[in-house]
Structure 1
Amino acid sequence: MNNKLVVISLILLILFLTGCHHSNITYIDGKVVDQNYQPIEGIRVKYEGSVVETNSWGRFGFSLFVDQPEFIEITFDGTHLGFGKMTRTVQVCPNTNYSMGTIKMERNLALVYGTVTYPHPDTIYANTLNTERIELPAIDGPAYVDGEIIVKFKDIIQTQSVKTLSTEIGIEILSKSSNGQFINIKTSDDIIETIQALEKRPDVEYAEPNYYLYPLSNSKINSLSYERDYDQQWNLQAINIENALKEVPNSSDIIVAVLDTGIKKGVPDLDSNILWDLGYDFVEDDNDPGVFWNSHGTRVAYIINSVTGNSVSILPIRILRSATNDTAWGTTWELIEGLEYAIQIADVINLSVAIKTPYGDIQSVSDIIKEAEEAGVLIIAAAGNDGYSSPAYPASDSRVLSVGAVGPSLQPASYTNRGVDIYAPGGDYNLYPIGKENTIWVGDGWAEGTSLASAHVAGVAAMILAKEDLTPSELRSRLRNTSLKLAYDDGAGLVDAYRAVTGIEHGRIFVFVGKKDYWWDEISYNTEESTYTYAKEINGYWENYFEITTVEPGDRWIYAWIDRDANKTLNNGDYFAEKWIPDLKPGEARRVDLVLEYYYD
């Protein structure tokens, strides 16, 4: 009997002990608020090796094992949020939940918050334009050449097929493409009916009107000199060209084709880089694409040459005829001929033109663009100057890199089409205060337009190819991914020449606070002995808000910095802003808005 009692007692003891073990879990919770009784998120609540953080309601909770009544210390750490650190001692008992109630923490550091934006002066647009400005005539005439049709055959065109076509439909053969698949014809019959008749033929793939195309530069203000100091060329500074040229000082092995109005002969710094012996004039159908006036094509070539440090090889191809020195026009047929020719020679093709059509893509041009892609040639095109939400054609083709324009504020220009792949300087005459300095220096004067923006990107593309061999798809991705994201509404960025040639993608905007003993102290964030405390970095893509919660009280400086050449030292080409914050008080929250500016020493 005694043995049985002993066994039963042991079993009961084991059960009791086991039950006690499971019942000795104690739960502790509470809420942390600031001096204004607002909940604080992110306070670190620590007990021995355990850490939990308060949630968005300021609440916390954790469990611990307690085998007997005892006093424990719980630490509330808010130093990373500017609230310092405090310790509370509480008595806990086994199998007892304990609420610490509301714990108030006062901020002993200051909070600095605000926004970082890019240069964006008040943009006041003129009711009437300055009389110096010369506008292109409104493009409100017919969309295509009367009676002309471009026909693509399914196979290489045979002479007999052309003769048969001419006899059966009653058309005049104007020209035949070099690849043998396109012909340009003229009919006196209704153009739509003729196209329908052609497309019923088994040997014809499609037929379409011969559309007009136009240059995309808005204006020019005359000047007498080709010389202009670098510090007056905001456009070159904006794309970080000075640092890029240190990486790629020579791009002469790369050929950029300029399909435009032809190029003026004898322009200083430009003439020697033009491949005159390889160029062609598809307007006059001869091998002399040179002109004797400061044409649209001359300005485009001038920008490409300037971007590359006067070192690129430019292939002149004339596809636009000029009515005056400032207006020009061409046709789809001449564009097709020019593209076919350029594909055989060039590495990059610049198209600062747009086709006037309400019908979207032009099939014949899209086919040639596909040929360029397959041949390893990137086409870069101006987006258009209509202020539309999408690019004009051919910039709208998915295999073409479309380029919009920014003014000196680095914001999209008042006229530029949006929805582009990338932005580049094109000028914006109407920015306040109105003046030529808001436009682009083009060798013989000042101009604006997405034509010039496209030329900047073409020059940068040439510099990339001078350093490494990329496919058109890789080149498009490189330019887009390394662009400086300026929170444009279509998500595109500003071309950055240095980042593009090095392949370094843009990271974040550095925002930091420090105490500066002397105004000339060097700004740096890569050395331990720096007097500046790195505080936070913010995404520069869509977000421009920052909040620094751990600022020491007193007189402070706040800085925002985009280190565009990634050398961790403030120098030419970076974007930078600084502002003095006097007499910052403990617990104070002060707003400071920063406007980045181009840094040029």
Structure 2
Amino acid sequence: MRKLTKFIAPIGALALAAGLSLAAAPPATATPQTGATQTYIVLYKANGVSASSLTAVQKAGGTVVNSYPQIGVAIVTSDRVGFDAALRKADGSVQGAASTATFGIAIENGETSDAAVTVDPGTPAPGSDTLSGLQWDMDQIQAPAARAVNGGSTSVVVGDIDTGLDYTHPDLAANVDFSKSVSCVGGVPNQDPAAWMDDNGHGTHTAGTIAAAKNDLGIVGVAPNVKIAGIKAGNADGFFFPEAVVCSFMWAGTNGIQVTNNSYFADPWLFNCKNDPGQRAIWEAERRAIRFAQQSGTTVVAAEGNESDDLAHPTQDVTSPDDTTAVTRAISNACAVVPVEVPGVVGVTANGNNVVKSFYSSYGVGSVSVVAPGGDSILQRTTTAPNGRVLSTWPAGLPCARPVTDPSGAGYCYLQGTSMASPHVAGVAALIVSSGVSKPGAVAARISSTADSLACPADMAPYAPFPSTSNGAPQVCQGGAGYNGFNGHGQVNALRAIGG
């Protein structure tokens, strides 16, 4: 609710009405207008946040929620109209400030560097669980054969940056690392398990693909011996706002998390444009946070998106902002999807059981590293995958359109999307780290170099009914068998990735 401000007549009129001389009148001081409280990302020119800068925030009408001096970023709330401009005027060390409720994040080139991490050796996890026969996706990337050699190390932690996870699920409970799980919704870390419990379902599903335990019930994840940390950045409605995303990567980098899975795009804009001052400030904060995590030893894996878009040739965005009313806007290569197009991130497209790109999966030369099973309910239903979708863990009590129940009573759900593809690759990354390769750049290189090469589809006709949801352009696959916009370097291969 907007607060009322008192109307103040011009000083000359007041003076004349009172019979006072203008020379004796006190100077006027405008009362700052206030409105709804908003959250702001404040970006500083240096990698630091000084005490004087925090004081300046308060004087400008803001409250510091959290600060990250390692990357020169602060999360601030304010109900003052024009707070961002007031802060820039008051503090010369501010590079940019923008409300996270009305802007997203933009892309920019950057370098990443690696940090070595020592882990305990992984151990085998052979065999199957009660629902393993429904996991066509695992067979497709040779995950069962890989975990029979190396099922992952208990000293490896995968941070699933998602909507949280159901830490009570019997197929996940043994592998949940409570010490490294957190909610970042709102931009402030909160380790209360109730805060990072999954209230959407999406996070529990991706977590199961990564690390569901080999325990004779339900399914088995790609890396069933590794630990999983729920890092809740998405709310119950599935929105991932920048303050939560920045918090999540800073948490991963400072808590020794070796891999993160990112099955989302940063809201509210699907495409975020760096030629907009506000978006540029938030993009730079995001880039710094991701780079901080990478430099701290975190391999970052992200989904490509489900809009049938060629991310290498964006021209229009009609789907965002997705938290209010979408508007149609012209875009260019100054705009990108975050986090998948941030430098150093392993980008993942989705395929189905016929091992061709899924009808919905976005793609693009330069943004995709590999392809992995995400399901395809229209073009790739098979006898092995009758509904075309991927089965994984699901929280008790939350609705699922296609549920499966283990004889023990544990719940599972069929879903499709690049959100389902990305955790397969994050799981393989965890196996690689468990095999002794720890630097993010080396992990990413191993994922790409051991993938099974796939050429562009010989027949593009099946994709004709599924043009880009952003600009209506037909899907086009560019490149050869070694690398192309649909499949990147090929389909991820868990067994080859660990040297099997």
Provide the TM-score with structure 1 as the length reference: 0.53
Q: For residue 403 of structure 1, give the secondary structure of its aligned residue in structure 2.
A: strand
Which of 206, 210, 214 aligns to 2:96? It is: 206
Aligned positions of 1:107-506 closer than 5 A: 147-153=38-44, 154-167=46-59, 169-177=60-68, 179=70, 181-188=72-79, 194-195=84-85, 198=88, 201-210=91-100, 229-283=131-185, 285-289=189-193, 290-291=196-197, 295-305=201-211, 306-323=220-237, 328-344=238-254, 345-356=256-267, 357=269, 358-360=271-273, 362-390=283-311, 392-419=337-364, 420-431=368-379, 437-443=387-393, 444-488=412-456, 489-490=477-478, 491=484, 492=488, 493-502=490-499
Going from structure 1 to structure 2, the CA distance change for 1:200 and 1:159 (only over 3 Å counts) comes to closer
Q: What is the identity, as a one-letter code, of the residue corresponding to 1:334?
A: A
Q: Which residue number in structure 1 is paired with residue 16 of structure 2?
A: none
Go from structure 1 to structure 2 and tell me whether the alpha carbon gap of 1:180 and 1:230 turns closer, same or farther (over 3 Å shift).
closer
Residue-by-residue CA offset, 1:464-507 (whole Å, 9 max, x unaligned): 111122421111111111111111335211101111111xxxxx
Letter in 2 for 1:236: M
Aligned with 1:353: secondary structure? coil
Give 1:288's aligned amino acid.
D
Q: 1:199 to 1:421 in 2, by over 3 A?
A: farther
Aligned length: 342
The alpha-carbon deviation at position 299 of structure 1 amounts to 0.6
Whole-angstrom CA distance in 2 between matches of 1:207 and 1:213: 12
Distance 1:413-1:346 versus aligned 2 partners, 3 A rule: same
User: Is the 2:165–2:204 contact (alpha carbons within 8 Å) kept by the matching residues of 1?
Assistant: yes
Q: CA deviation at 1:409?
A: 1.6
In structure 2, the partner of 1:82 is none
Q: What stretches of structure 1 of length at least 5 have no aligned partner?
A: 1-144, 215-226, 503-564, 566-601
| Residue pair 1:484, 1:494 contacting (<8 A) in 2 also | yes
Amino acid at match of 1:352: S
- Kindly indicate whether the alpha-carbon contact (under 8 Å) linking 2:350 and 2:374 is maintained by their aligned counterparts in 1: yes
Which protein is richer in strand relative to its size?
A: 1
Equivalent pair of 2:353/2:380 in contact (CA under 8 Å): no
| C-alpha spacing 1:206/1:156, structure 2 compared with 1 (3 Å) | same
User: 1:178-231, CA deviations, whole angstroms, 9 ceiling, x for partnerless residues?
Assistant: 74732222344566x8359628842113333325789xxxxxxxxxxxx75333
Does the residue aligned with 1:355 lie in a helix, a strand or coil?
coil
> C-alpha offsets along residues 500-542 of structure 1, whole Å, 9 cap, x if unaligned?
111xxxxxxxxxxxxxxxxxxxxxxxxxxxxxxxxxxxxxxxx
Contact 1:275 1:315 in 2 (8 A): yes
Secondary structure of 2:235's aligned partner: strand
Which string of whole-angstrom CA distances, capped at 9 and with x for unpartnered residues, describes residues 95-129 of structure 1?
A: xxxxxxxxxxxxxxxxxxxxxxxxxxxxxxxxxxx
Indicate if the aligned counterparts of 1:147 and 1:190 stay in contact, CA closer than 8 A: no
In the alignment, the residues of structure 2 paired with residue 146 and residue 238 of structure 1 have an alpha-carbon distance, to the nearest angstrom, of 49
d(CA) in 2 for partners of 1:439, 1:340: 33
In the other structure, the counterpart of 1:107 is none
- Per the TM alignment, residue 378 of structure 1 is displaced from its structure 2 partner at its CA by 0.8
| Structure 2 contact 358–374 (Cα < 8 Å) conserved | yes
- CA distance 1:210–1:269, change in 2 (3 Å): same
Matched residue type, 1:465: V
Check whether the contact 1:270–1:310 (CA below 8 A) recurs between aligned residues. Answer: no
383-392 or 170-179, larger mean C-alpha shift: 170-179
Higher relative contact order (CA 8 A, sep 6+): 2
> Mind listing any 5+ residue stretches in structure 2 that lack a counterpart?
1-35, 106-128, 212-219, 275-282, 312-335, 394-411, 457-476, 479-483
Q: Separation in 2 of the partners of 1:243 and 1:309? A: 11
CA distance in 2, matches of 1:199, 1:367: 24
Report the Cα distance in structure 2 between the residues aligned to 1:292 and 1:332, rounded to whole angstroms. 19
Confirm or deny: 8 A CA contact 1:213 1:330 kept in the other structure: no
Amino acid at match of 1:422: V
Question: Percent identity at matched positions?
Answer: 23
Distance in 2 of aligned mates of 1:418 and 1:196: 41
TM-score (norm 2): 0.63
RMSD of aligned Cα (Å): 2.9
Residues 194 and 237 of structure 1: CA distance in aligned 2, closer, same or farther (over 3 Å): same
Deviation for aligned residue 1:148: 2.9
